[in-house]
């Protein structure tokens, strides 16, 4: 069985440097056998993926933004755990989408992240989830997603 790091390589994904907190919080907390990762925004080393779904961005662009949030979540997991094989289960994702009031494909946007978790972690990547629309998000980004992971201690 291949490791999550191997799967990332097969997908052509290089994890970025984990994002630093932009306010008074920490990027992640380990409590018992759970890893809580603070909201990761749709940003790359080149800059933020900004926009508003249904207004300046279409569904595929939103899914790409959510996928980038997933990559950033995994980068935080790697920073917290050292090895991604310590992730026993992706427990829950909370997705927030900067969207026009008439845009209703919020769950499909967050699938960009959910699909990535399954691609990287296999069956352990299947998770509970919430997906909500917001009139704006921090730094003007299109998507923000936080995560809860069960880990080996």
The 10s digit of each residue's pLDDT in 88-125 is 999 999 999 999 999 999 999 999 999 999 999 999 99
By the 8 A CB rule, do 54 and 78 touch? Answer: no
**pTM (2 decimals)?**
0.97
Task: State whether residue 120 is helix, strand or coil.
Answer: helix
From 65, 88, 84, select the one nearest 74 (Cα to Cα): 84
In this predicted model, what pLDDT tens digit does every residue of 29-59 receive, in sequence order?
Answer: 999 999 999 999 999 988 999 999 999 999 9
Name all domains of the chain by residue range, CATH numbers in brackets.
29-151 (3.30.1330.40)
Confidence band of 1 (pLDDT split at 50, 70, 90): low
């Amino acid at each position: 069985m291949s490791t999550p790091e191997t799967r990332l390589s097969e997908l052509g994904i290089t994890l970025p440097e984990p994002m630093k907190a932009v306010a008074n919080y920490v990027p992640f907390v380990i409590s018992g056998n759970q890893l809580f990762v603070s909201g990761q925004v749709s940003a790359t080393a080149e800059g933020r993926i900004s926009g508003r779904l249904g207004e300046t961005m279409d569904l595929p662009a939103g899914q790409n933004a959510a996928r980038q949030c997933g990559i950033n979540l995994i980068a935080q997991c790697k920073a917290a755990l050292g090895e991604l094989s310590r992730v026993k289960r992706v427990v829950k994702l909370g997705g927030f989408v900067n969207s026009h009031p008439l845009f209703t494909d919020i769950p499909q946007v967050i699938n960009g992240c959910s699909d990535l978790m399954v691609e990287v972690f296999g069956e352990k990547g299947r998770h509970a989830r919430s997906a909500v629309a917001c009139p704006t998000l921090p730094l003007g980004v299109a998507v923000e997603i936080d995560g809860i992971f069960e880990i080996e201690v």
